[in-house]
Structure formats: C-alpha cells, structure tokens
Amino acid sequence: MQKAVLGDVIIDLLKCSNEDIRRLKQSVEKGFSCPYCSRELVLKAGTKNKAHFSHLSDCKYTFYERESEEHLQTKLLFTKWLTSQDITAHVEYQLPQIKRIADVYFESGGKKYALEIQKSPLSEREFRERTGGYLSLGTVPIWIFLGDVRVREHATVLASVMTGKNQKKLFHFDLTRKHVTFIEDIVWLTSKEVVATMIRRKLKDLSFEDMLHPANLVDSTMGKKWRAVKKRFRERGWFYFSKAERRLSILCAKKGVSVALLPSEVGWPVLGRGFKKPLFVWQAYIFMSIMAEFSPGDFFTSGDIVRLLRKNFSFNTNSHSMPQLKAYLGWLVRFGILEFSENCKENWNRYEAGQREGSQGYYEVLHIPAFSSAVEKLIHRDNMLVEEFL
C-alpha cells in the first residue's frame, strides 16, 4: 500500500521523491500505522521493488486486500497514465458506503470511474457484488486483469482470473511489455476458451477514450476466426464432449451422425456466457430437441424449449442463459429453419400454447435440415454460411 499514518500526518509515497523516501527509511524505523486498521506498518524501499508500506500482521480492515508487486506497479502505471492526460486520479480511494477501496478512482467527462486491478481468481458472485456496489454509487468499474492470455489459431485461452465473467469486453495488462489487450465480442466456447476480437496496444499509445471505445481501433475478425472454429469442430476437436454427453450422443445416433457431423446450423457465435456447457454442446441440445419434437408447421415458444431441456436432459437454465437461448433461436430464424412472430393471438387455434399468460411470441418450424455424413460437404456449407452471415 502507498499510504501510512506517521503521528498525525498521512504519508503518501506517490507524493514523495526518492530522496524523501530514503530519508524516511533511514530516520523512521517504527511509528507507521495503517490508515484503515491502525495496525503497525513497515516501509519497504529496496532497489528491486517499488517503495511501499507493508503490514506486519493481517489487516483487519475489511476494505483492504494484500497486493502483489505486479498489482502495485500496475496501479501506479495507470495512475501516471491518467495524470498524463490531465485526469486527476486517486490511488487507494476509500468508498466506505460499499466497504471498498478503489485501486484507482477518477472522474472524466462528468462521470465517475474506478479501475479494479485483479490478479487473484475472483468468483462470479464476488465479481457481480463488487461491480454492483460501484454502480450503486454511480461509479463505472473498469476491470483490468493480470492473468495469462494465450492465443491459439482458433481461440484464446484465458487464465482462471478472467474466466466466467459475463462481460462484453475484458481488459488485460501485460506489465513486462506495458501492453493493454482489449478482448471484445466475447463468445465462450468452453469455460476457458473464447473467440473474440483482440486488440493489443502499448499503454503509452492509448488514450482513456480508447479504453472506453476500443472497437474504434480495429475491425472485427469474427468471420475469419469462426471459420477456423467450425473446421476444428468438424475435425472432431470437440468430439470428446459426446462421451460426456450421453443423451446428446443418443439424439445424434437417431439421425445416424456423431456430434461433429451435426448440420451447419449448429454452433454459431452468441456473445457472453450463460450456459455452463460448451457452446457447441448447448446449441446441439437445443437444435436436436427442436428436430426431435417438432415438424414443419408446428409452433413453440422459447419456454417450451426450456421445459424440454429440463425434462429430457436435466439441462439447467438461468437468467444469463435465456438471452443466449433466444439469440441462438434468432440464428435459426436467419437460416430459414424457423419463423418468429411476436403475436401469438393471431394463431390461437393453430398454437395452443399461445393461451399461456406472458407468452413472448412463438416460433414456427419451416423445414428440417438434411443430415449428412460427408465432412467435406458440411465444411463447405459451414464456410458458405460464415461468408453470408459473418
């Protein structure tokens, strides 16, 4: 931490010169205390790491978290970066209303922001609670992750600290290279693999406006990446899922195909992460449920699909998965398999479920796609649809 109390004075290392810190280190061995819990601190000012105060025992103040050297350095770098743009930034800014200390707090364009720099794994629940706390104060949290990012040909592998966060974009910082990586348009393939638009820039070449609107820096390459994803799927890169998903394998077997040979209408980019199962698996369950239950001319709602998934496959849905379910049904509408209408009453006699209270429109099955065991033919159709829709 960068602040400590000495007598009645608050010492802020960010406002101290190297000579000031050297004199403090030589002249004051004891007497520093934590401004939050009042416990004793020691000043660490060597040649290797950035000067900082450290607790001799655990801090009992609920706002405080121990931080690594990487976390500390990143916090100071971003503070300096904001200051260079004439933005007044405050390190370790106390927000007692939500029992938090923002790593970096600042205001710009009439809005309040907090940089949250995260290196250790954070649960989805804790992430939502922290984010909600900032928003309740009218403060926009910007999360900067320090976990590893590895890029493969077909996808990006995220470290555990970054996984599971149901966001439209992520920010990653590489302290060694001073690089910021913007990860946008995130489609979760598995719990750690994503396909996304990735933009990497040196921190010194970025403005705060770039961080707010990173999409302006480069065009999306989703189409090119998705072609590689679909090809890997066809080459049975996801085949091992069929072993774990026995019921899905049974559904596919009735059509005489494996999971990797499902029609091209299975496996399309849907932003975010709502289902716990991998993207190709949850879309296959939905697609095959429709194919097994309905015929051309039949009508159903998204609620009917939810009931089928829960009844036949013990497939859990939640508030995050419902938008993804509807987004995938939207893909099937675009492919001409389904047709959607918001007004169920027009087809009261044809669709009995339209009488249900709260029905949000219905889908009509227009046709059933053909199943094929020819991989080359399927890859060709995959590419045609990618060219047309992505």
| Per-residue pLDDT tens digits for 202-216 | 999 999 998 888 766
Q: 187: helix, coil or strand?
A: strand
pLDDT for the residue numbered 358: 41
Domain identity same for 11 and 103: no
Type of residue numbered 83? T
Q: 108: helix, coil or strand?
A: strand
Residue 24 makes CB contacts below 8 A (sequence gap 6+) with 11, 16, 43, 45
pLDDT for the residue numbered 370: 86
How far, CA to CA in Å, does 251 sit from each of 153, 181, 256, 292? 31, 41, 9, 8
User: How many domains are there within the chain?
Assistant: 3
Lowest mean pLDDT among 6-10, 92-96, 329-333, 364-368: 6-10
| Per-residue pLDDT tens digits for 280-319 | 989 999 999 999 899 999 999 999 999 998 887 777 777 7
Max mean pLDDT among 28-42, 99-113, 145-159 falls in 99-113
Domain identity same for 285 and 356: yes
How far, CA to CA in Å, does 51 sit from each of 42, 47, 68, 239? 11, 9, 13, 52
* pLDDT of residue 172 exceeding 50: yes
Domain identity same for 269 and 168: no
Task: Tell me the helices (H) and strands (E) count for the chain, helix number first.
Answer: 11, 17
Q: What would the mean pLDDT of 325-349 be, rounded to a whole number?
A: 81
Domain identity same for 256 and 367: yes
Domain final position from 220, 252, 281:
220
Domain final position from 190, 220, 250:
220
Domain identity same for 84 and 29: no
Max mean pLDDT among 28-37, 42-51, 122-131, 200-209 falls in 200-209
The number of angstroms, rounded, from the C-alpha of 297 to the middle of its chain's C-alpha atoms is 38
Predicted confidence band of residue 269 (pLDDT cuts 50, 70, 90):
very high
Domain identity same for 184 and 280: no
- The answer to whether the beta carbons of residues 121 and 141 sit under 8 Å apart is no
Task: Report the CATH number that the domain containing residue 182 is assigned in CATH.
Answer: 3.40.1350.10
* pLDDT of residue 163 exceeding 90: no
Domain identity same for 5 and 151: no
pLDDT for the residue numbered 342: 74
For 12, the token pair is 């802020």
Which DSSP string do the residues of 153-166 spell out, in sequence order? SS-EEEPTTTTT--
pLDDT for the residue numbered 223: 84
Domain identity same for 209 and 238: no
Q: What would the mean pLDDT of 244-257 be, rounded to a whole number?
A: 81
Domain identity same for 246 and 213: no
Q: What would the mean pLDDT of 224-244 be, rounded to a whole number?
A: 75
Q: Taking Cα atoms as reference points, which of 205, 174, 172, 168 lies closest to residue 187?
A: 168
CA–CA dist 193, 93 (Å, integer): 34
Domain final position from 20, 44, 62:
62
Higher pLDDT, 338 or 342: 338
| Per-residue pLDDT tens digits for 91-146 | 888 898 988 889 999 999 999 999 999 988 888 888 889 999 999 999 999 999 99
pLDDT for the residue numbered 108: 94
Please calculate the CA angle 314-299-290 and round it to the nearest 5 degrees.
40
Domain identity same for 294 and 214: no
Domain identity same for 116 and 200: yes
Domain identity same for 22 and 127: no
Which DSSP string do the residues of 237-266 spell out, in sequence order? TTTHHHHH-HHHHHHHHHTT--GGG--TTS
Q: What would the mean pLDDT of 351-357 be, rounded to a whole number?
A: 45
As a whole-number percent, the residues of the chain with pLDDT over 70 amount to: 87
CA–CA dist 61, 76 (Å, integer): 22
Domain that holds residue 13: 1-62
